[in-house]
A and B are shown apart, each in its own frame.
Chain A
Amino acid sequence: MSSTINQSAAELARRIAAREQSSEEITRAHLDRIEQVDADVHAFLAVDAERALKQARAVDAKVAAGEKLGPLAGVPIAVKDTYCYQGLPTTAASRILEGWLPPYDSTVVSRLLAADMIILGKTNLDEFAMGSSTESSAFGPTRNPWDLERIPGGSGGGSAACLAAFEAPLALGSDTGGSIRQPAAVTGTVGIKPTYGGVSRFGLIALASSLDQPGPCARNVLDAALLHEVIGGFDPADSTSINEPLPDLVGAARKADIKGLRIGVVHELGGEGYAPGVEQRFAEAIEILSGLGAEIIEVGCPHFEYSLAAYYLIMTAEASSNLSRYDGMRYGLRVGDDGSATTEEVMRLTRAAGLGDEAKRRIMLGTYALSAGYYDAFYGSAQKMRTLIARDFASAFEKCDLLISPTTPTTAFKLGERLSDPMAMYKCDLCTMPASLAGISAASLPIGLSPADGLPVGLQVMAPAMADERCYLLGGALEAALNDRWGASLLDRIPEVGRPAGSQETSR
């Protein structure tokens, strides 16, 4: 592995600004790495090599001209294929949008470009971000760089896997019920779902509008904070965007001090169904946090047991409506237009051919949840449960500054293992769904490998809305303590792509 691609984004930015290494060289190194490993990992749906190099050269020219650039200028990034970016197909990993070229840029992409970042390409995901394994992508699954037989999480498996495989130092994700955090957990990377309204959704292909939230994916906490500050903040094009300044996230990641903080361990997010290896690493992390001077409290959130039901009803209801526009009339796939078929028939055939099984299942569930006679019992009840879950958080945050739990009940499972069992798949997001429902900030941090299978385990930290800096405060502190203990970062222990975890130490 070259000495470039294993660097942090912060270090790469420093080198570029100091003219120690050019953005072009750094970009080329990552493109080479993609060339080398992505056939195995399949993190990318599209690579934009030429434009990326052109963007890199432009940044190098600005640096040479002495322009003052942003803190991530010249650093490459991979973008989840849910964000509109002109000139590259935006597909949400669905056949129905295959080859669709958006005529506009999403706000987050505009902000990356304005910050002089280099967009390498688009990453794979579950179709329309519906899944927890990236297996429902119409263009084939992404594989976990820790073990290519295993899932990289989902929906943002591509963004997480490209970080773990050192194909990109940073990536953009979008999290509806755990799509940033769960892939981060199972790939040993860092992922943050910002407060709902903290990062603009304009140009993000919607799954469930009241839950979707763009966020940063990185290999370390500081890098995530740097990216979060680039993409975050008020956007008048998104009515649900919060018109307040972002907290000092980078400062919090650097401060990394949790002395005196009260940290609540959520009682309901543990116990039965949680893998022993996950619980063991989680318990160790609690000890470390306590050793760093935090006060550990156990808190109860009694309604969290209903979050899966509430989440799936709200998500599928909104998704059923958001995905109606894929009807073959204005863009994307059209099937069955033989001159005699009606619009209705063409819509039905197009959607049947263009949407995958999971998308269809969720659209049908959402249609049911909203339909006359079932609305109150299903969608209506789910919205009330959402209130109760938000209240659970509110009262927990009266007792503590932060809440923690495992990010996922288990480590990465094998590809195909849960495909025939939707309910088992949905349970991947058991721990991440409550924060999504309440709209608060939450992150996943790597806390080691499970002794059972040698695969990464994640810790979830949750902070009140617009207090995202607390996630970075804890993240920075925990990361420093763990790296101290390990003598390296977790990803330094990842096998070279292609070898299963634990089979062989690699020397690099």
Chain B
Amino acid sequence: MALTPQDVARLADLARIELSDQELARLAPQMDEILESMTNLAQAIDDDVPPMSHAAPLVNVFRDDQVRPSFSSATVLAGAPAVEDGQFRVPRILDEEA
């Protein structure tokens, strides 16, 4: 497999983590070793095995459409790093998302 520092850099982009070149160089072989030990899974599985995404076999858990009191904006903004006009102030945004 051999994960390269460039591969790790692409993952760091997706995960929004700034990593130095040294960190990339250190992480690549570490992650590679871990992932290498996990590549044997696919071979141990027949095609017809269904995947298991949840640990408890529950379905259709719903709540009634009932309004409950919200929190005050003072409460929800109390922990914010920056606040302006009752809103969360965030740095400038470069690109619009879908």
Contact = CB atoms under 8 A, between A and B. Distances in A.
A95 to B, nearest CB: 14
A352 B51 contact: no
A384 interface: yes
Interface stretch (A51-59, A128-136, A156-164, A340-348): A340-348
Interface string B50-68: 1111111010010100000
**Majority-rule SS of B interface residues:** loop
A348 B76 contact: no
Contact of A371 (B14, B18, B55): B14
B91 A346 contact: yes
B51 A197 contact: no
Contacts of B61: 239-240
Given A364-B11, A381-B41, A382-B41, A352 B19 contact: yes
A422 interface: yes
A472 interface: no
Interface stretch (A9-17, A72-80, A309-317): A309-317
Interface string B69-84: 0010001101111100
Contacts of B39: 377
A19 interface: no
Contacts of A329: 81, 88, 90
B78 A103 contact: yes
B55 A348 contact: no
Interface string A350-378: 01100100001101110110010000111
B58 A197 contact: yes
A385 B44 contact: yes
Given A352-B17, A377-B42, A390 B52 contact: yes
A397 interface: no
Contacts of A65: none
Given A343-B93, A347-B16, A378 B49 contact: no
A386 B52 contact: yes
A210 interface: yes
Contact of B92 (A343, A367, A388): A343
A280 interface: no
A343 B82 CA distance: 13
B91 A383 contact: no
A196 B38 contact: no
A153 interface: no
A368 B31 contact: yes
Given A309-B38, A386-B51, A240 B82 contact: no
13 contacts: A197-B58, A240-B55, A242-B58, A327-B16, A330-B81, A344-B16, A344-B94, A351-B15, A352-B17, A360-B19, A364-B8, A385-B41, A439-B56
Given A351-B16, A351-B18, A364-B8, 20 more contacts: A100-B79, A195-B56, A196-B55, A210-B54, A236-B63, A309-B37, A312-B34, A327-B16, A331-B80, A334-B82, A352-B17, A352-B19, A367-B14, A371-B11, A382-B38, A383-B52, A384-B49, A387-B52, A388-B49, A426-B34
Interface of A: 100-101, 103-104, 195-197, 210-211, 236, 239-240, 242, 303, 306, 308-310, 312-313, 320, 324, 327-334, 337, 339, 341-349, 351-352, 355, 360-361, 363-365, 367-368, 371, 376-378, 380-388, 390, 422-423, 426, 437-439, 465
